[in-house]
Amino acid sequence: MNIGILIFSEPPEEIPTGADRFEEAAELRGHKAIKIYEPYLSFVEGQILHHGEPLPELDIIISRPNFVEEPSLRTYAVQILENAGYKILNGRNGFTWAKNKLTQHVLFEKHNIPCPRWGIARKPADAIAIAKQIGFPSIIKVAFGTHGKGVFYAPNEETLRPIVDYLAVRDRNPLIIEEFIEEAKNSDLRVYVVNGKVVAAMERKALTGEIRANTSIGGTGYQVELTEEETALALRTTDVFDLNIAGVDIIRSKRGPLLLEINGNPGFKELERVTGLDIAGIIIDYAIEQAS
């Protein structure tokens, strides 16, 4: 069986997708994982080309949307592949919604998903007013970011003002102003969901002097036991976002578990280290099952 790994970057930037681990896991099971690079896809008169050659025969494709930009600039490729009859795990709906943090928050509200108090504003004055209403410290998030990039901490209005002024000039995009959950002590939970089931989870703790717990920027993962409420929140969120494979980030608060965000291209290197589980193998097994 040929399993496509759809990577939205060129080869030097592919490492965070876990593509090499997928290749190992597929080979151990007697199958082949083939890397498909979205920048090298082209389409003409119903023909799909990769590096100028016809796309290899693929039984199923695992989408790994490792990009940081407006997702509509990327979804056309997935739509064309789907229209051609390819089955894609983490297709266009899920990763389009998950890639845009503004859309994420709108869906949180629509589906009554518990999360830290938040607001959205484009103008700096409105962002400051929201922060005052929610209360300091505040978290500021840009619409498109990954690995903790684009997340800012403002303990007070004096710190917040230059941040929102700068982002208004640089991006001119709406900003998310979010409540800081102090009792979490700069830690969160990463819950990994595959095929509607929680397959692994870890607690992530930030470096000293840092509020972001992402392991890609130095945070450390630890084994954790999820509560029933945390598991239910992760599964419900994954279902809302129509994702087959998801990394759900949850924070523990005095009000119970709160959803921070959901990731349609979740890494698993630290999770495999912490849990000893073969996450790549679990995903490949799922792909084989879905293709059969």
Residue 151's CATH number: 3.30.1490.20
Domain boundary among 128, 159, 180: 180
In a domain, 102, yes or no: no
In a domain, 88, yes or no: yes
Residue 133 has pLDDT above 70, yes or no: yes
Asked which of 157, 180, 203 is the last residue of a domain, the reply is: 180
Let me know if residue 105 belongs to a domain. no
End-to-end CA separation in angstroms for the chain: 9
What are the Cα distances from residue 236, in Å, to 107, 108, 233, 259? Answer: 12, 11, 5, 11
CATH for 77: 3.40.50.20
Q: Are residues 217 and 258 in the same domain?
A: yes
The predicted-structure confidence for 237-280, as pLDDT tens digits, reads as follows 999 999 999 999 999 999 999 999 999 999 999 999 999 999 99
**Residue 94 has which token pair?**
């899920």
Are 249 and 270 within one domain?
A: yes
Do both 128 and 207 map to the same domain?
A: no
Structural domain span for residue 69 = 2-96
Kindly state whether residue 229 falls inside one of the protein's structural domains: yes
* Domain end residue (candidates: 96, 130, 155): 96
Q: Does a structural domain hold residue 282?
A: no
Residue 3 has phi, psi (to 5 degrees) of -110, 115
231 and 269 both lie in a single domain: yes
252 DSSP β-pair partners: 257
Residues 226 and 163 in one domain: no
Query: What's residue 162's pLDDT?
Result: 95
170 with 213, same domain: the answer is no
Q: What's the domain count of the chain?
A: 3
Tens of pLDDT along 27-78?
999 999 999 999 999 999 889 999 999 999 999 999 998 887 778 888 888 9
Is the model's pLDDT at 286 over the cut of 70? yes
Note the pLDDT tens digit of each residue in 150-198: 899 999 999 999 999 999 888 788 999 999 999 999 999 999 999 999 9
Same domain, 197 and 156: no
Same domain for 214 and 258, yes or no, is: yes
198 lies in the same domain as 169: no
**To which residue do tokens 């496509």 refer?**
4
Q: Is residue 235 part of a domain?
A: yes
